Amino acid sequence: MLQLPLILCGLVLLLTWYLIGRHNENYWKARGVKFYSKNKVIGPSWDYLFTKGAMFEKFGELYKTYRNEPVVAIGQILTPSLFVIDAKNVQHVLSSDFQSFNHRGLDSVEGDQLTESITLLNGPKWKLMRKTMTPLFTSSKLKNMYYIMDKTAQDFVAHLKSDPKLWKGNFFESAMLYCNAAVCAAIFGIGEQSTFESPFLKFAKDVSISNFKNNIKFTLFNLAPKLFRMLGVKVFKEHEDFFVGAIGQVIKKREEENVKRHDFADLCIELQKNGTLKDQTTGYELEPTTGLLSAQAFFFFTAGVEPAADGIFATFALLSQHPEILQKVHQEIDEYFEKYDGKITYDVVCDMEYVDKVLSESLRMFPPIGYLSRQCVQDTVLPVGNVKVAKGTKLFTPIYEIHHDPKYYPDPEVFDPERFSKERRPNDDLYMPFGMGNRTCIGARYSKLQLLAAIVHVLRSFTLKPIPESQQKKVTFLRHVLGVRIGNVKVELIPRDKK
């Protein structure tokens, strides 16, 4: 008796799948836009879910296949969606026409406080929160905060020295540990003890997007946000009590201590003392509750741990395979340590020009995030191809593929730090390891300093070489819905015999 209902349900699902695919194809055909018909319902997400590799690689296949098109349409259930290929159109979406494309393409989830972070907020709420958070990342604030990163980097080196097993282990995991510790220190402050003794390190790993459960949730959230909400699925709800409670305790303790540490907790206290947040232009208001501020702290974990660890690991992987460049890095680091008697301040690390070029080139070759998403909030037109974009359309823009396009970066697969010298520096409009336009990662400069601190201190004490079995000709990447993570390269640390 059960067979007939199951067969009928299967037929209804197949018919629905067919009709959605046909609707998607006809929608874009009527607009004269090429359509990716391999899977008409969920497009490259199907390839991501059922084949190996990262999501950005699936978009990369589209980039190569439709290279001469301004855009290519893709299935995203019933949401009209475009993968933007032409660089001028990419700039238009991410920067020039911000009024039409200021929506991130994802929204916070009602009843899930930790999704109320600046990453997922949109509209006037995002604008007010961005304005409120920006002071934490000014040059003067970063200069005051740098001691936190420097202390964490020194603790990281001590941690590595204490356990030789880590020298030939999975260095990405060690980089994750450092970034976890650095973010925890920036949010909760540091004392005399090692930053690697923080009780929040396990928590930071539990909420990482590369976590299998979170990866699947994020993919479904991206594909069908309305269905996601209808089903009442939460993203980070299970961590809410712990994290909001922890932030509340930190704020309370800091108020009692009445000590300035130039970290996120200081900002929270200042905001709560000042009362209601208000945008003078729109009149929009927000209460700086502990829950809302906890969501912003949570942004540090989702944006400042995995992507930063990917950046450090990519830099070390590249340096391990280019000893002549590594030697120059060592030389500059040693000169500055000797010149400043080992005291590496904000000004000192910012003055290391060659290390900065190496990091910039590493982030070009392996940007932490492989692509970006936006959603159209008003009918508009993309300039190249005269592509009409209706309100509600979702757009995906490449990062990795633009960074590897010989049209913009000659010999893109060559690791060449001098590409970022003053004489040769590429077009900044196309270099976007932290995004582009008004929604560029607010913590980009903080993140870069965090990476520099680790690179400088670790390479002062260690040199690098690739583990032989990982010296493949072609780099492969691990499955990740957003990130660019090298999967087949391992790095060995070797203590340096410094003079």
What is the rounded distance in angstroms from the CA atom of residue 154 to the CA atom of residue 336? 16
Q: Which residues are annotated as a binding site?
A: 441
- Hey, CA dihedral for 65, 71, 72, 75, is it positive or negative? positive
User: CA dihedral in degrees (437, 438, 440, 446; nearest 10)?
Assistant: 130
Burial of 203 (0-12, 13-18, 19+ CB in 10 A): middle
361: closest CA among 307, 415, 314? 415
User: CA dihedral in degrees (88, 121, 368, 293; nearest 10)?
Assistant: 150
**DSSP string of 35-103?**
B--SSTTTTHHHHHHHSSS-HHHHHHHHHHHTTTSSEEEE-BTBS-EEEE-SHHHHHIIIIITTTTS-B
Report whether 117 contacts 273 (CB < 8 A): no
Residues 6 or more apart in contact with residue 248 via CB below 8 angstroms: 290, 294
What is each CA distance from 6 to 15, 17, 18, 349, 434, in whole angstroms?
A: 14, 16, 18, 65, 48
Residue indicated by tokens 């090429």: 34
Report whether 493 contacts 171 (CB < 8 A): yes
Under DSSP, the state recorded for 372 is E
Q: Which residues are annotated as a binding site for heme?
A: 441
